[in-house]
Amino acid sequence: MMPAPVRLSFIFAAVLSMTSAAQAQSLSFGGDTANQPLTIEAQNGIEWLRDTRTYVARGNAKVNRGNLAIRADILTARYRETPAEQTEIYQIEAVGRVVLTSPSQTARGEKLLYNMDQAYITLHGGPVEFKTTGQVLTANESLSYWPDKQTAIAKGRARVNRAGRVLTADTLTALFEDAGDGNVTLKQAFAEGDVQIQTDGETAFGDTGQYDTRTDTATLTGDVRLVRGDDQLRGAHAEVDFGTGISRLLARKGSGRVQGIFTPKPQPKPQKE
């Protein structure tokens, strides 16, 4: 028989408007959770370490605050005492099968740091994922998200997939905007290092790149290649319009040339009569 989960609740009231953590504690990951209680529960118990002002929850642990929830094998909540002698949690750390959810967004990873003072969430320790309605952002190393700035930075062959456009790079900086109902949608993505953009039938490569969802266009710079089947174009700067299907390639300064390699398709041999 499984032991019943242990639960602790912390009520945040006027203290939120009295301390420097007030704005940071409104961090909502796509919803308003300010002035709502924070609840910690776990299957294998919760340790209260008074000397370090820490709570450690183990075994199918969960933190809830409004519509924001964090699940993991182990959750650590760090707190401090306010001038009003109330408990104020300022940081949550999660380890093991971490899942962070809100009504319209989901993030997954092996480790999580949720810093309320600096208003950001970081997932790291292996493949990570941030999923919203309409797009998925993944990375092999880490993903940091600032909800107040609606900005995410993904590192380690980061990849964003939206509407059939797949942008991959060593580092991706994604800018989001409100899409209504507490959801966000990708506005722009900036890519650095071994950039690759894939669409139906065409792949573009470069050293750096930028994708704008509002115009459905991308630019690539550096060692640029546009590849379609066995054919490819090489240059230093490319402008790709996904809506029209038109790509424009520019040469490196001083060379004045772009290079095209076109492989003829084999013609069928005439049948003998």
Q: What is the residue extent of each domain of the chain? A: 1-125, 133-265
Highest mean pLDDT among 30-34, 116-120, 134-138 belongs to: 134-138
Tens-place pLDDT, residues 64-81: 988 889 999 999 999 999
To the question of pTM greater than 0.85 for the whole model, the response is: no
d(CA 210, CA 189): 6
How much is the pLDDT for 14? 21
pLDDT, average across residues 88-111: 94
d(CA 62, CA 41): 5
Mean pLDDT of the chain: 84
Domain 133-265, CATH number (from 2.60.450.10, 3.40.309.10, 3.40.50.1970, 3.90.1150.10): 2.60.450.10
Tens-place pLDDT, residues 221-247: 999 999 988 888 899 999 999 888 888
How much is the pLDDT for 11? 35
pLDDT, average across residues 179-200: 90
Highest mean pLDDT among 6-15, 170-179, 228-237 belongs to: 170-179
The answer, yes or no, to whether residue 97 has pLDDT greater than 90, is yes
pLDDT, average across residues 81-104: 92
